[in-house]
Amino acid sequence: MEPMHTEGFRQLTKIEDAIRVFLEAVGKPKITVESIPIQDAVGRILARDVFAQSYLPSTDLSALDGYAVRSNDLRDASQTSRVVLRIVEESRLGEPCHLKIASGQAVVVATGSCMPKGADAVVMVEHASRLRENVIEVHSAATLGEGVTQKGTDFAPGRRVLRKGRWLRPEDIGALKALGLSKALVVRRIRVGVLSTGNELVNSQQTSKSAKIVDINRPIISAMVKELGAEPVDLGIARDEVREIRQALTKGLRSSDVVLVTAGSSVGKRDLVPSCINSLGRPGMLVHGIAMRPAMPTGLAVVNRKPIVSLPGFPVSAIVAFKIFVRPLLAKLSGFPMPAERSIRAVLKERIPGGPNLRTFVRVKVERVQAGFLAWPLKVQRSSSLTSMVDANGIVTIPESVGAIEAGEEVDVSLTGDI
Amino acid sequence: MEPMHTEGFRQLTKIEDAIRVFLEAVGKPKITVESIPIQDAVGRILARDVFAQSYLPSTDLSALDGYAVRSNDLRDASQTSRVVLRIVEESRLGEPCHLKIASGQAVVVATGSCMPKGADAVVMVEHASRLRENVIEVHSAATLGEGVTQKGTDFAPGRRVLRKGRWLRPEDIGALKALGLSKALVVRRIRVGVLSTGNELVNSQQTSKSAKIVDINRPIISAMVKELGAEPVDLGIARDEVREIRQALTKGLRSSDVVLVTAGSSVGKRDLVPSCINSLGRPGMLVHGIAMRPAMPTGLAVVNRKPIVSLPGFPVSAIVAFKIFVRPLLAKLSGFPMPAERSIRAVLKERIPGGPNLRTFVRVKVERVQAGFLAWPLKVQRSSSLTSMVDANGIVTIPESVGAIEAGEEVDVSLTGDI
């Protein structure tokens, strides 16, 4: 059992206060943009509103395979009152139509053909019979505009087609293409330095008997950085020595927009990261020790206008702290909100206790049942258990003011995996 | 107004029947796997169960900064009954610990240090005072296992850590790394040929006066293919000529696992795709004309054991048909389910009519309100309107048997974008 304690911190800061102080100190970021080929732009953030410059379609088109007609001619057409029309031409797909039809005439059209002048409706093939080569008999009424896609239906000049800040989707790529664009102006990917610290860490396992531990924080954090559309920069492993940590942080501050450093974040004598950060520049550590579990020993800092997040060493804690603090940071730096996290409502199957005056994040397994969703708290909640994170597909948050959530209560579950 | 008609199809197949017939004809796929570096494996499908071969941690570790002790010595320790222990050594991080402690002894440990033999609990720094260099006084009881991460807490030999079929997440990458692996066996990406047909299509706009239309289906469909973890293969644009379409399809069948072809899918005289498919091999077109709107003129085919989906030419229809038919196809070909689509419950703000005996897919705009979510059907629902897809962030499905969903009813919304 982990006893209730503040892990050596004299004072804990509430999560919202921590984020506010941190983001204020980060200041107004300089958003830089880049122009990239449209086909590479899915998942990127659009940097500027996109307006149409022309009409799409650029002229009236047939929306059906059939006959372009004057609707007036067919106002009273029916099975018992058939109307005979003469076919004067065919409007071929992809070719301009310079024709003009008069009363009693029709033009063969396909879906997407230009409408001839004078025509204001399309009769579908099934509503007409060919009497002779150039004569049809229509047995169904036509109304003005029926079967026609009007010029400018999709876009007209000046229409805002896409709003800046949008995370571009496949259909948006289609819209950009349809506007005649080949490049999109998107927010440059935020560069995020990822550093691990710890004498015990190695990049890969040598022997199973070794007392060394494979560093899993960098691969996990780097992958999470990519998921948020940013670009991880590998800063390697620093040993628990002031010189090494300072050197690696300095390199990170030079090469990246943000530095994330895992472990060494607490208040023990081996926890060198906070003092190293403070030694590098002002204002240094802004918040250290957060009223949350896991990830209490998280630190938030700014050095020479660049943000640094000191994440706890246990992977579970690092992951939770990333979700809570790095997401809003990257949103601020990129100038636009992150896409929402997936969440669902589920009924809690077992009571879960919170921590007094702490916000508690509980790993759960969500299952679909007849009536909705059930969430089971995983037995092992220690932050040292990576398995608990791997086995979980969701996280339930217990507010600071709540002692426990009882079995049977409905909760919001932030999904971390498929159900 | 689009009149109610079957677009020239004599018979429409229900969606579920169409999928069943199609997937049966596709047969049991040969799942091929590949071994890739773990850091590239996020978003890939794990091909084999992964079992632990050793213990993680490989020995008992301290979970705290403090003192490794024998819990028996401290069973009755308290503020008023302090226990004095002698520090005999320090267990350094990342170094093996060959020590053994006796009663009355303690070893300095950090979070992650190996536990010395004989020790079975860790007293945190705050619960002890240093009396002299090598003597501490403990003022809190310790229980067996307290402050210790047991050998094998995360993994023990034989434990299944990850199940095959999982779409790997950042935390799973961590688990694979922690197991000492450097590569992961994943399902090879399905290669999906993407072909557009139509005389009116061009790759990019030449002049705004041109009667040609920029092909947006290929970029949209290719991006959707990537989102499902598959690899698009660009088959270009074929003109509406049997020879060109056959050639492009043949090339696609040779280079890809699946071919998606847009436009020319209906029953008009210019709709050459179905007959071209039939001319290439057996069994050919299995289903043609689906009881759905949009995307009724969708065709499902198998030629020489390779699936072909004939998608309608309007981008909205192609997107909807992709979601309905290509998702389950790719799941079958990759051997494992696709990740669930995001969906929410929302209250419908306006009545939306369905089609008799058709499943109708309605583009909606979802907004968050105090009480939950509201869904507004977009005014323009024509499949020729790409804008309606771009402006929508969700799709509501109206079952075949339902004439309309009334305003105020709660519906499932499949999310296509952020709210």
Say if the Cβ atoms of B270 and A93 lie within 8 Å. yes
Say if the Cβ atoms of B170 and A219 lie within 8 Å. yes
Chain centre to alpha carbon of residue A281: 34
Which A residues in the span 52-111 are in contact with B, Cβ-Cβ below 8 Å? 54, 57-59, 61, 63, 65, 92-97, 110-111
**What are the residue ranges of CATH 3.90.105.10 in chain B?**
34-56+154-187
Best of B45, B109, B143, B171 to disrupt the A interface by mutation (most A CBs within 10 Å)?
B171
Banded pLDDT at A268 (limits 50, 70, 90) = confident
User: What is the mean pLDDT of the segment spanning B256-273?
Assistant: 91
**ipTM of this complex prediction, to 2 decimal places:** 0.91
Are the C-beta atoms of A307 and A301 separated by less than 8 Å? yes
Banded pLDDT at A96 (limits 50, 70, 90) = confident
Q: What fold, for A61-149?
A: Molybdopterin biosynthesis moeA protein; domain 3 (2.170.190)
Give the whole-angstrom CA distance, residue B141 versus residue B153.
24
The whole-number pLDDT of residue B207 equals: 64
Asked if residue A3 has pLDDT above 60, the reply is no
From chain A, pick out residues whose CB is under 8 angstroms from the CB of B380.
153
**What are the residue ranges of CATH 3.90.105.10 in chain A?**
34-55+167-187
Min distance A197 CA to chain B CA atoms (Å): 12
- Closest to B113 in 3D by CA, of B72, B148, B73: B148
Chain centre to alpha carbon of residue B12: 31
**What are the residue ranges of CATH 2.170.190.11 in chain A?**
61-149
Q: What is the CATH number of domain B15-32+188-334?
A: 3.40.980.10
In words, the CATH class of domain A34-55+167-187 is alpha beta
Min distance A304 CA to chain B CA atoms (Å): 30
Asked if residue B249 has pLDDT above 70, the reply is yes
Asked if residue B59 has pLDDT above 80, the reply is yes
From chain A, pick out residues whose CB is under 8 angstroms from the CB of B210.
96
Report the residue from B126, B182, B387 with minimal CB separation from A155. Answer: B387
Chain centre to alpha carbon of residue B293: 26
Min distance B71 CA to chain A CA atoms (Å): 14
**What are the residue ranges of CATH 2.40.340.10 in chain B?**
343-415
Contacts of B313 (CB under 8 A, 6+ apart): A111, A112, B197, B198, B217, B262, B263, B264, B265
Percent above pLDDT 70 for chain B: 98
Banded pLDDT at A162 (limits 50, 70, 90) = very high
Min distance B160 CA to chain A CA atoms (Å): 11
How does the average pLDDT of chain B come out, rounded?
Answer: 93
Q: What fold, for A15-31+189-334?
A: Molybdenum Cofactor Biosythetic Enzyme; Chain A (3.40.980)
The whole-number pLDDT of residue B208 equals: 57
| Chain A contact for B226 (CB, 8 A cutoff) | yes
Report the residue from A200, A224, A389 with minimal CB separation from B112. Answer: A200
B152-205 confidence digits (pLDDT tens): 988 999 999 999 999 999 999 999 999 999 999 999 999 999 999 999 999 987
The whole-number pLDDT of residue B2 equals: 37
Min distance A279 CA to chain B CA atoms (Å): 24
Say if the Cβ atoms of A178 and B216 lie within 8 Å. yes
User: In terms of C-beta distances under 8 Å and separation of at least 24 residues, what long-range contacts does A255-258 make, across chains too?
Assistant: A255/A191, A255/A193, A256/A191, A256/A192, A256/A193, A256/A306, A257/A190, A257/A191, A257/A192, A257/A306, A257/A333, A258/A190, A258/A191, A258/A192, A258/A193, A258/A306, A258/A307, A258/A308, A258/A309, A258/A326, A258/A329, A258/A330, A258/A333
- Closest to A41 in 3D by CA, of A130, A165, A169: A169
B126-163 confidence digits (pLDDT tens): 899 999 999 999 999 999 999 999 999 889 999 999 99
Residue type, B334: S
The whole-number pLDDT of residue A5 equals: 59
Say if the Cβ atoms of B380 and A226 lie within 8 Å. no
Find the length of chain A.
419
User: Counting beta carbons within 10 angstroms of the beta carbon of residue A4, is it exposed (0 to 12), middle (13 to 18) or buried (19 or more)?
Assistant: exposed
State the Cα torsion A170-A171-A174-A176 to the nearest 10°: -100
B34-56+154-187 CATH pick, 3.30.470.30, 3.50.50.60, 2.40.100.20, 3.90.105.10: 3.90.105.10
Residue A18: CA count within 13 A, CB half-sphere: 27
Are the C-beta atoms of B104 and B129 separated by less than 8 Å? no
pLDDT greater at residue A399 or residue B94 = A399
A·B CB contacts under 8 A: 250
pLDDT greater at residue A384 or residue B361 = B361
Which A residues in the span 279-338 are in contact with B, Cβ-Cβ below 8 Å? 313, 315, 319
Domain A343-415 matching CATH 2.40.37.10: the answer reads: no
The whole-number pLDDT of residue A6 equals: 74
Using DSSP bridges, classify how beta strands B213-214 and A343-348 pair: parallel, antiparallel or unpaired. Answer: unpaired
| Token pair of A291 as six digits | 């009223």
The whole-number pLDDT of residue A4 equals: 42
Asked if residue B209 has pLDDT above 90, the reply is no
A201 beta partners: A213
